[in-house]
Structure 1
Amino acid sequence: MNDVMPEGEAIRLFTVPITDDLAEEAVAILTRFRELADSALRVEDTEAFHQNTDSLFWKEVAELDGLGEPLRSERRRLHGLLIETANLTKDNALDHVRALEHDIVMQPPPVWSPLTLSRVVLEGVLFSEYLIDPTIPLNRRLARLAGMWRTDATYALKQAEAHGQEPAEAGQMLAYVEDALQKCQAVERHDRRGKVSGYSFGSESAALDINITERATKVMPDWLPAPYRLTSGASHNRPWMIGRAKDLAGGDGLAGEAATVMAAVMTVLGSIEVVIGAFGEYFGVDVSEELEQMEEERVAFLYRAIAIAHGS
């Protein structure tokens, strides 16, 4: 997209009201990408997935099968949970794409909600990519899942306590996770205060949780500068950002603009491309045709949107 316009220029171009035509174009490209993703991401149901035993996924399965019992069974379960979690966060991301499709065409037009929905899509994709990252070894992958699982168990504990559950009952999930990780021979890492800061499997380790900002900077396309920070102000309801909507409305209520819709849409399109690429490479399925098609349609959409927004 950099050959279309300078970085960031797409958003500055769209400082105009959201029109019905623009909203319909935005919904069409979101629906198209979501449908392509639904098809491309069903890699585990394809013949290519089962035939390509040289894929990273099957190599990891073979590596786990080479372990002795009971460690083999424990780590196979952890590996299965990893795949399940990657699919879960990806599916939740796509569900929010569907929500964004409805949000964009609502009347009166949305203000900041498109950016909030696109942020959920981005986060879901980054969680999935973080777990199935095709550039890391199996033990680091397991360490990443261990940290995320432990973090989620801690969140569940805090929520249970907030709802008045007894400590023993509230801590059941955390106790289960700690026991399962111990059986997997995951080694706790600790910070200077003695608190758990991550896990190690052999010589590979990972922190307790993903750093979303760093991950977005590392894996999102170059044509989408700082998408996580872009969506942050609206998602956190920060006055420095959301105040613009009041200014646009002339001080009476809030008014949305095409730039918000475009930023949300481009964030989603980039996110979908990233997760499709990661899934394809990890499971050994060729998704190059889908990615090429997405790039062509994304650029074509941008040209159409510029023409609609600026009447050319």
Structure 2
Amino acid sequence: MNDVMPEGEAIRLFAVPITDELTREAVAVLGRFRELAASALSVEDPEEFEQNTNSLFRKEVAEIDQLGEPLAAERHKLHDMLIDTADLTTDNALDHVRALEHDLVMQPPPVWSPLTLSRVVMEGVLFSEYLLDSTIPLNRRLARLAGIWRTDATYALKQAEAYGQEPAEAGQMLAYVEDCLQKCQAVERHDRRGKINGYSFGSESAALDLNITERATAVMPNWLPAPYRLTSGVSHNRPWMIGRARDLAGGNGLAGEAATVMAAVMVALGSIEVTVNAFGKYFGVDVSEEQQHMEDERTAFLYRAIGIAHAQ
């Protein structure tokens, strides 16, 4: 359907109701992106893959080998955990892409839930990209993982305490993390009040956790402006954002619009592109073919979606 806009006012794309045709196209492109990501992130022979001497991954393994024992063994454990953590957050992100596909086709159409799901996709990808960032040295990478691990252990402690566990039992994970990091010779960094705010390995350091807002601004595709802020208002249930759905419904409940679907899909597509790019650079895998397919698919989807939402 057409938008009726006052003369001289810019046309607001996708400020129209959600249609079945649009959601079918959205679900299809998300599925194709997941398939392309699976192709890019998979290897036929893991052992051969890990021995790729041209990869940053393999160079870092060799760098750790030079440290001597027992430090090398402890650093290898931390490095292995870093890879596992990046895999875990990526897998969770892709699982939420599947959830988004199902969410888009529910009846009546969704309102804000697609943006909430796309935020989880983006956060998972930003964690993995932060750890696999090919522009940083090994020691900073380890410092980043140390900070995230310590932060997670603190969250686990707070949850255990909330469940009423005894202090000794509740603090087991944090004690284990601190012991492992000490064996790895990770040095705690503290603020002026003496509170820990990060870790250092040699001359390289990192904060306790990543700033997701800043990370999204830095690494998400430039065709996707302020994606984290866009999804934040919805995920935190802020009235300034979600109130539009009531206005669209004319005060009778909430109503979604095509713009929400498009925003959620573009956040998810951009997130998948980021993780494929990070994976390829870190592990020395040529993902250029999948990247080109993704760009072509995304562009074609956008043009199809405009035609559907603003059909004459």
TM-score (normalizing by structure 1): 0.95
Unaligned runs of 5+ in 2: 1-10
Indicate the residue corresponding to 2:14 in structure 1. 14
Is the contact between residue 48 and residue 285 of structure 1 (CA under 8 Å) also seen in structure 2? no
Amino acid corresponding to residue 88 of structure 2 in structure 1: L
Letter of the 2:279 partner, please give it.
F
Instruction: Give the counterpart letter for 2:218 in structure 1.
Output: K
Measured in 2, the distance between the counterparts of 1:223 and 1:204 equals 32
Structure 1 residues 65, 85: CA separation in 2 closer, same or farther (over 3 Å shift)?
A: same
Partner of 1:283: 283
2:249 aligns to what? 249
**TM-score normalized by the length of structure 2:** 0.95
Match in the other structure for 2:121: 121
Paired position in structure 2 for 1:4: none
Distance 2:44 2:271 in 1: 20
Q: Distance in 2 between matches of 1:305 and 1:129?
A: 29
Kindly tell me the number of residue pairs found equivalent between the two proteins. 302
Query: 1:144-170: per-residue Cα shift (whole Å, max 9, x none)?
Result: 000000000000000000000000000
CA distance in 1, matches of 2:54, 2:286: 13
Matched, 1:84 2:79: no
Secondary structure of the residue aligned to 2:12 is helix
In 1, the alpha carbon distance for the partners of 2:282 and 2:43 equals 10
Question: Secondary structure in 2 aligned to 1:110?
Answer: coil
RMSD: 1.3
> 1:207 Cα shift?
0.1
Q: Is the 8 A contact 1:148 1:209 kept in 2?
A: yes
Partner of 1:5: none
CA distance in 2, matches of 1:268, 1:176: 35
After TM superposition, what 4+ stretches of structure 1 lie above 6 angstroms from structure 2? Answer: none
Partner residue of 2:222? 222
> Aligned ranges for residues 154-303 of structure 1 at < 5 Å?
154-303=154-303
Distance in 2 separating the partners of 1:287 and 1:48: 17
| Identity among equivalent pairs (%) | 82
* Residue in structure 1 matched with residue 6 of structure 2 by the alignment: none
Aligned to 2:5: none
Secondary structure of 1:13's partner? coil
CA contact (8 A) 2:51 2:58 kept: no
C-alpha displacement of 1:52: 2.6
User: What does residue 27 of structure 2 align with?
Assistant: 27
Query: Partner of 2:164: helix, strand, or coil?
Result: coil
Q: Distance in 2 between matches of 1:146 and 1:20?
A: 46
Task: Call closer, same or farther: CA 1:259–1:45 in 2, change over 3 Å.
Answer: farther
Q: 1:158-193 CA deviation, whole Å, 9 max, x = no partner? A: 000000000000000000000000000000000111
